[in-house]
Amino acid sequence: MRALDALVVGAGFSGLYMLVKLRQGGFSCAAVEAGSGVGGTWYWNRYPGARCDIPSMEYSYSFDPALEQEWEWTERYAAQPEILRYIEHVAERYDLARDIAFNTRVTAAEWNEERGRWRVDTDTGDKFDVQFLILATGALSEPRGIDLPGLENFAGPVLYTAKWDDGVDLAGKAVCHFGTGSSGIQAVATMADYVGHLTVFQRTPSYAVPANNRPLLPGEQDSAKATYQQMRAVARQSPLGFAAPPRPGKAREFAEGDRVQRLEEAWNAGTTGLLNAFEDLLFDEVSNEQAAAFARAKIAATVKDPAKARALTPHYPLGSRRLCSEIGFFETFNRPHVDLVDVRQDPVVAVEADAVITASGARHRADAITVATGFDACTGAIKAIAITGRGGQRIAEEWADGPRAYLGLAVAGFPNLFAITGPGSPSVLSNVIISIEQHVEWVARCLADMRASGKAVIEADADAEQDWMRHVDEVAQTTLFPRADSWYMGRTRDGGQVFMPYVGGVGSYRAKCDAVREAGYEGFRLS
């Protein structure tokens, strides 16, 4: 059993920065990572076309100004291999690998009341005895998979975007693909260039904006670097963690010509631009519908077959499910070797050795099946660990009716446990790296403050937690997010839904966390 001040679970952007801060704070620490390398999302999601949809220069750490200046991004939106190289570079720069146990999954953690410490078990048999347990397990790291009748009969490979095996060559093959969210949209458009035949099985269509990706020009990168600190400062205080905040003005109050012109400009600016075109798109039904109709018209103008265009057109508010970034996705359906199956109209009834059969009797030939059906988002990776807190309570059971966490950081009944980008924090509704840095820095300061004041145990107060989750819900209800069935929603046992991320804004959330600390960790009990 290895004794440490703190154990970090996960070695993605969150876990690596947490290790840096713990070391800087003089805490004995280590990390445990299920994968064989660092990178988290960018280690696992090696599917064709994977890239970020936040400009590379913003989708990167801000805590090290020298790193910011040194690193050269090649594209406006970096692709997975480049982001992974960047994370590996950071791990090397800070010599982090020596404190990370790779190929090791944390399976259980139990709070010992008398000793005020966590005992942590792993699937390799390694055990840890730690004062603080920090879950940097990722909000999008527990894949959902797929349940198709007869899938076990399929003779070819089944590839999951969230655990992509890049050793399988799909060139010239007949591929049946499932899922058209952000991952599926990227994978479909890229695979269409080299597979022999592609059948896309769609359950829910997505709004998607052209990425307008391109190489970064040297001058452009230099001028951004000259003002990097100011850019980051704006992002930290902004609603969604971007340097460019929403443009002022309500869409519904603009004359049609002016409104369409502004939407067109935002469309051409790339993915994050569209929801920033007006300040009220996520709040006002009429304004949202105007922007949604604009996005729907783009699909109709691109996809030549009217039946396919109809099937690909969403009818929920724009942005209430994650807005996707695309490079040639809709054009893909004009290609003769690409078919679309709407599984709500024509569900899969059987999978055979070399085909997928749907209710209409259609037989879709398949040498390989690819799956991009998303994640058990926000809570999945935490619930997958058997975490036992005070009085034997299990986190998975406590969260069976939706997650509860004070500030998305800590859970009542589970002392000295922190979640990075946990449910109830801006997390997936922001530039996630900005949110990760804010959480990591808050936790590091908290541990240092505890050490300075001679405190050993911190625990969220149940009332403060309840008030916070009520606030998370109230804020969500002022937006259009609850109008769509999305992975932002957690499920309750009776089929109800709980909105999980905090939509009150990255800047205001940061101010709240700072105020809690300045008030002596208001809403926490320290002993």
**Residue 386 engages ligand N01 in binding (rule: CB under 6 A):** no
**Residue 49 engages ligand N01 in binding (rule: CB under 6 A):** no
- Taking the least distance from each CB to ligand FAD, the nearer of 19 and 432 is 432
Q: Work out what residue 431 binds among ligand FAD, ligand N01, none; the CB cut-off runs from 5 to 8 Å by kind.
A: ligand FAD
Residues of this chain that bind ligand FAD (CB under 6 A): 9-15, 32-35, 40-41, 43, 45, 50, 52-54, 59, 105-106, 136-138, 140-141, 183, 381, 385, 420-421, 431-432, 436
Question: Under a CB-based contact definition with an 8 Å cutoff, are residues 5 and 26 in contact?
Answer: no
Least distance (Å) from ligand FAD to the CB of residue 78? 9
Indicate which single residue of 184, 241, 270, 328 sits in contact with ligand N01 (rule: CB under 6 A): 184
Indicate which single residue of 122, 325, 430, 431 sits in contact with ligand N01 (rule: CB under 6 A): 325
Question: Under a CB-based contact definition with an 8 Å cutoff, are residues 3 and 130 in contact?
Answer: yes
Amino acid 241 reads G
Stretch 196-225 residues interacting with ligand N01 (CB under 6 A): 201, 203-204
Strands 106-112 and 117-122: antiparallel
- Which tokens is 3 given? 């004794």
Rounded to the nearest 10°, the torsion over CA 239, 242, 244, 250 is -30
Q: Work out what residue 12 binds among ligand N01, ligand FAD, none; the CB cut-off runs from 5 to 8 Å by kind.
A: ligand FAD
**Residue 179 engages ligand N01 in binding (rule: CB under 6 A):** yes
- Taking the least distance from each CB to ligand FAD, the nearer of 429 and 480 is 429
- Taking the least distance from each CB to ligand N01, the nearer of 319 and 507 is 319
In b/e form, how buried is each residue of 223-251, taking b as 16+ CB within 10 angstroms?
Answer: ebbeebeebbeebbebbbbbbbebeebeb
**Residue 146 engages ligand N01 in binding (rule: CB under 6 A):** yes
Binding part of the chain for ligand N01, among 95-103, 354-362, 367-375, 491-499 by CB under 6 A, reads 367-375
**Residue 322 engages ligand N01 in binding (rule: CB under 6 A):** yes
Indicate which single residue of 8, 38, 140, 385 sits in contact with ligand N01 (rule: CB under 6 A): 140
> 């999978």: which residue's tokens?
351
Strands 368-371 and 158-160: parallel
Q: Work out what residue 277 binds among ligand FAD, ligand N01, none; the CB cut-off runs from 5 to 8 Å by kind.
A: none
Indicate which single residue of 6, 18, 52, 209 sits in contact with ligand N01 (rule: CB under 6 A): 52
- Taking the least distance from each CB to ligand N01, the nearer of 69 and 345 is 345
Least distance (Å) from ligand FAD to the CB of residue 211? 10
- Taking the least distance from each CB to ligand FAD, the nearer of 54 and 368 is 54
Q: How many chain residues are in contact with ligand N01, going by CB under 6 A?
A: 24
Give the N- to C-terminal CA distance of the chain in Å, as an integer. 26
In b/e form, how buried is each residue of 110-136, taking b as 16+ CB within 10 angstroms?
Answer: ebeeeeebbbbbbeeeeebebbbbbbb
Instruction: Compute the distance between CA of residue 274 and CA of residue 442 in angstroms, rounded to an integer.
Output: 31
- Taking the least distance from each CB to ligand N01, the nearer of 262 and 321 is 321
Q: Work out what residue 322 binds among ligand FAD, ligand N01, none; the CB cut-off runs from 5 to 8 Å by kind.
A: ligand N01
Tell me which residue of 433, 359, 306 sits closest to 42, measured CA to CA: 433
Least distance (Å) from ligand FAD to the CB of residue 314? 20
**Residue 180 engages ligand N01 in binding (rule: CB under 6 A):** yes
- Taking the least distance from each CB to ligand FAD, the nearer of 55 and 413 is 55
**Residue 429 engages ligand N01 in binding (rule: CB under 6 A):** no
Question: Under a CB-based contact definition with an 8 Å cutoff, are residues 383 and 399 in contact?
Answer: yes
Instruction: Compute the distance between CA of residue 45 and CA of residue 239 in angstroms, rounded to an integer.
Output: 27
- Which tokens is 224 given? 């951004």
- Which tokens is 487 given? 């992975």
Q: Work out what residue 238 binds among ligand FAD, ligand N01, none; the CB cut-off runs from 5 to 8 Å by kind.
A: none
- Taking the least distance from each CB to ligand N01, the nearer of 22 and 311 is 311
Q: Work out what residue 406 binds among ligand N01, ligand FAD, none; the CB cut-off runs from 5 to 8 Å by kind.
A: none
Q: Work out what residue 379 binds among ligand FAD, ligand N01, none; the CB cut-off runs from 5 to 8 Å by kind.
A: none
Instruction: Output the DSSP codes for 477-498.
Output: HTSSGGGS--TTEEEPTTS-EE
Using Cβ positions, the residue closest to ligand N01 within the complex turns out to be 181
Amino acid 23 reads R
Q: Work out what residue 421 binds among ligand N01, ligand FAD, none; the CB cut-off runs from 5 to 8 Å by kind.
A: ligand FAD
Q: Work out what residue 178 binds among ligand N01, ligand FAD, none; the CB cut-off runs from 5 to 8 Å by kind.
A: ligand N01
Question: Under a CB-based contact definition with an 8 Å cutoff, are residues 216 and 78 in contact?
Answer: no
DSSP at 394? B
- Taking the least distance from each CB to ligand N01, the nearer of 23 and 203 is 203
Give the neighbor-by-neighbor strand order of the sheet with 355-358: 348-352, 355-358, 363-365
Compute the residue count for the chain: 527
User: What is the Cβ-side half-sphere exposure of residue 141, based on CA atoms within 13 angstroms?
Assistant: 29
Least distance (Å) from ligand N01 to the CB of residue 344? 8
Instruction: Output the DSSP codes for 57-81.
Output: TTSS--S-HHHHHH----BSS-BHH
- Contacts of residue 357, defined as CB under 8 A and 6 or more positions apart, other chains included, come to 348, 349, 350, 351, 363, 364
**Residue 509 engages ligand N01 in binding (rule: CB under 6 A):** no
- Taking the least distance from each CB to ligand FAD, the nearer of 54 and 484 is 54
Amino acid 90 reads V
Question: Under a CB-based contact definition with an 8 Å cutoff, are residues 123 and 409 in contact?
Answer: no
- SS3 of 396, please? helix
- Taking the least distance from each CB to ligand FAD, the nearer of 185 and 251 is 185
Interface contacts to ligand N01, rule CB under 6 A: 52-53, 140, 146, 178-184, 186, 201, 203-204, 322, 325, 343, 372-375, 428, 487
